[in-house]
Each structure stands twice: as C-alpha cells, then as structure tokens.
Amino acid sequence: MTRDDCLELDRKDPLAAQRAAFALPEDVVYLDGNSLGALPRATLPRLQRVVEYEWGQRLIRAWNEAAWIELPRRVGAKIARLIGASPHEVICADSTSVNLFKVLAAALKLQTARPQVSMRERRVILSERDNFPTDLYVVQGLTDWLGARYELRLVGFNEVTAAIDESVAVVLLTHINFRTGAKHSLSSITYRAQQAGALAIWDLADSAGVVPVDLNAAHVDFAVGCGYKYLNGGPGAPAFLYVADRHQKAFANERFAQPLAGWLGHRAPFDFAADYEPAAGIDRFAVGTPPILALAALECGVDTVLAAGIDALRAKSVQLTELFIRLVEERCDGLGLQLLSPRDAAYRGSQVCYAHPHAWSVMQALIARGVIGDFRAPDILRFGFAPLYVRFADVWDAVEALREVLATGAWDRPEFHPRRLVT
Ligand SMILES: Cc1ncc(COP(=O)(O)O)c(C=O)c1O
C-alpha cells in the first residue's frame, strides 16, 4: 500500500464530491468529526439569511412567515430518515442529556403503568459501566430524585445481555462506545430486553449520520442523539429524541408523559392557559422556545448526510477505518500503540482508538502537524472518520504523522505536555 494507492481510492470514491460541501482548511486532516462535525458550506449563507433577513427584517413575524416554529419537527423528520423512524417519531430539542432525562422518565412512567409489572421487583435501570458519563449521571440524578425506587446496575460491554432479567425496568445503552468505538447489537439487545419485559433506550450520539440504524425494525422504545457530531450541526447543536409511535399512543390519555412540562409541549401554547394540557404526539417532548439559529445550522448539516445517503456513508466509513487499522499495523508496529477498537468492522462504529501511555502528548504533537483527533482520559487516542469529507489520502497522511511523532519521540517536547480544559 502506498500513498498513490490511497489517491487512487479517492479517485474511485463515489462520495469524493461530497467533501466540496464543507469549508475545511486545506492544511488539516480532520479526524474529529465524531466530536464536532465540519462546517458545511451551506451553513453560513443560511445563517446569514436567518439573521439578516428573517430576524433582522421580518422580526417576530418570522416565527410564522419563515416557519421557525416548525423547525424542531422538520429537522427531526429529516433525522428520522437516517435512523429508521417515522417523521412523527422524532423531534429536535435541548441537549442529549436533557432528552435522555425526558425519555428515561417517560420509560419509567410506562413501566409503572403496566399492570403486569410489580415495581417492587422491576426496579433496575441497566447500563454499561463504560457508557458515556452523562448518560450515567442522568440516571443517577433522576433515580436520586425519585427516592429509593430505582437502582442503576452497571455491567461490562459484553455482559449486558446476560444481565437482563425480570428485575430490569429499562436497558439504557449507547450504541457506539465513546472510548473504543465498539458497537452494540441494537436489535438483539432490544429484543432480549423486551422479552424480559424491559424497555430499551438507545443513545445514538456516535451513530446518527454515519452508522445505519433502523429503530422501527428493531422495535426500539426510545432514543436520543447529538446534532454536533456526524450530523454536522455545529458546536452545541440541538439534540434529537425518538419516541416509538406505540408509546406516544400509550400516553394519549396521560397528562404528563415526562416531567419537563414546558409551554412548547402544551397543546396550545398561545392560549396561555394556566393548566398544562399536553400537545399530541412527539410535540409534548418539547419544552421551551427552540433555538432557531442553531436549528437552521443543524438542518444544513443533516442535509449533507441525506445528500450522500447513509448506506454509502457506512460503506466508506468501513473502508476508511479498515485502511487506518491496516496502515497502523504495517507502519507503526512496535511503537507502543494498542488497538482498543474491534478489529472486525461489523462490531465497530466510525472511530478507531488506541491506548498509548503518552496519549495526550502524542495527540498534541499530531494536532501541531495538522492531524486533528482527540484524547480521552486516561490514555486513549481517538480518530474519527467522517466519510463525508475524510479522504483515503488523509488516512495515509495521518498514519505517517503518527509514525513520525512516535518514532522520533517528537511528542515529548515540553509544549505538548500541559493539559487543556477541553480534550
Ligand atoms: C454518547 C454520548 N451521549 C451524550 C453526549 C453529550 O450530549 P449533550 O452534550 O448534548 O448533552 C455525548 C457527547 O459527546 C456522547 O458522546
């Protein structure tokens, strides 16, 4: 394998033209689209119009004229196409953490309402020890708030299925592990959870926009995910949430499906009634005024993914990660890297992670060379491959930079040691 072979792969790449949809610096190999997606070229003109014309000129009238009020549902319906959901099952709102709070509370409420379930027994929320911390914190916060009724039970990545029993109320997992890129079997875990009478909640933070997910086919109960990663929605982009149609119907006669009852989840917000009456369907999972600038940017990002097609993206993502692992094996052998990601692409998302005792400094040295990945404590180098804009030649260049940084000890220069606030 040579750099020319990689250039040839780029020439043959059916997605190669998609990169032009992004405003990427020329001197950067960007392998951090799993933390913050790149800037779509369409975003700036869109925001310029929303700010200058819609907000600047049309002012409050834009809520109706520019259909601002419909943005959470409109962008949600676009995301639905990427995750195997119906348009009315997804809405954009808040952050992933807040959405998780809402759907977890909703799932627990459904469980208490089920006649066959005794809450005395079914009190476990099952998750993975190595889940993204916010997911675990949200469970801890909500269960503390509810008193001693629930218990968070944490198991290892491969122990989930065996740990599902009749005591479990909710199985809450992240599809792609943030430290290793390992991928759970969403459909088989969901099936097993439901067989045992539990509900399944999936965090799709590192899946949405890069790994095909079919929530309806897998009969998933609830899901959440981020807008700022592979959906290219921009820093702090709104998140999304999914509630299966059957659960929306189950809540039809309930006043509260989830505890964050805000005016935009009300049936008629502009009646300004004193009493909460829920909107029908997914709208009741909205809370407050939607962030229009951020949603406009998110829509541009989601459109970049829809334009490429999720299956084509997955195919290229697998090729990119395969190539990276293979080149690291060939060119960085004996340089202290330990592969943490599954070797088989069927079991990983779109990131490849290595442990290295000096991972922080190694990543800083790479960034200084224009190869941007990130570091996760305590010793993990993470490389994310966003197939919309990462080229095969980028993979080659990244591995060459990694080899040089490790082989020469360049990472050990004093400027690469101090830790920054955001890693
Ligand atoms: C799996 C997972 N869940 C949740 C989050 C955080 O989401 P938010 O900041 O939108 O609450 C992240 C952030 O990286 C994540 O990786």
Which of 96, 103, 174 is the pocket-test mutation for ligand 1 (most atoms within 8 Å of CB)?
96
Torsion (CA) 197, 180, 142, 274 in degrees, nearest 10: -100
Cα 352 to averaged position of ligand 1 atoms, centre (Å): 18
Angle (CA) 264-269-274 rounded to 5° is: 110
Average pLDDT along the chain = 97
Q: What distance in Å separates the CA atoms of residue 229 and residue 197, rounded to the nearest whole number?
A: 33
Mean pLDDT, consecutive 10-residue stretches, the chain (423 aa), reads 97 98 97 98 98 98 98 98 98 98 97 69 94 98 92 97 96 98 98 97 98 98 98 98 98 96 97 97 98 98 98 98 98 98 98 98 98 96 98 98 98 94 85
Selected from 3.20.20.140, 3.10.150.10, 3.40.50.720, 3.90.1150.10, the CATH number assigned to the domain covering 3-30+309-416 reads: 3.90.1150.10
Q: State which H helix or E strand residue 224 sits in.
A: strand 222-225
The percentage of the chain sitting over the pLDDT mark of 90, rounded to a whole number, equals 96
Ligand 1, atom 8, residue with closest C-alpha: 96
Ligand 1, atom 7, residue with closest C-alpha: 96
Other CB atoms within 10 Å distance of the CB of residue 275: 6
Cα 97 to averaged position of ligand 1 atoms, centre (Å): 7
Does 351 sit in the ligand 1 pocket, CB within 6 Å?
Answer: no
In this predicted model, what pLDDT tens digit does every residue of 367-389 receive, in sequence order? 999 999 999 999 999 999 999 99
pLDDT at 120: 58
- The question of whether 382 is a catalytic residue gets the answer yes
Q: Which tokens is 388 given?
A: 């919309």
Cα 243 to chain centroid distance, Å, stands at: 16
Residue with tokens 């020890």: 129
Cα 224 to averaged position of ligand 1 atoms, centre (Å): 9
- The question of whether 316 is a catalytic residue gets the answer no
Q: What distance in Å separates the CA atoms of residue 341 and residue 325, rounded to the nearest whole number?
A: 9
Q: What distance in Å separates the CA atoms of residue 35 and residue 386, rounded to the nearest whole number?
A: 10
Q: Where are the domains of the chain?
A: 3-30+309-416, 48-305
pLDDT at 116: 59
Domain 48-305: give its CATH code.
Answer: 3.40.640.10
- The question of whether 229 is a catalytic residue gets the answer yes
Q: CA neighbours within 13 Å on the CB side: how many for 409?
A: 2
Query: Is the pTM above the cut of 0.95?
Result: yes
Cα 117 to averaged position of ligand 1 atoms, centre (Å): 31
The active-site residue, picked from 132, 222, 285, 385, is 132
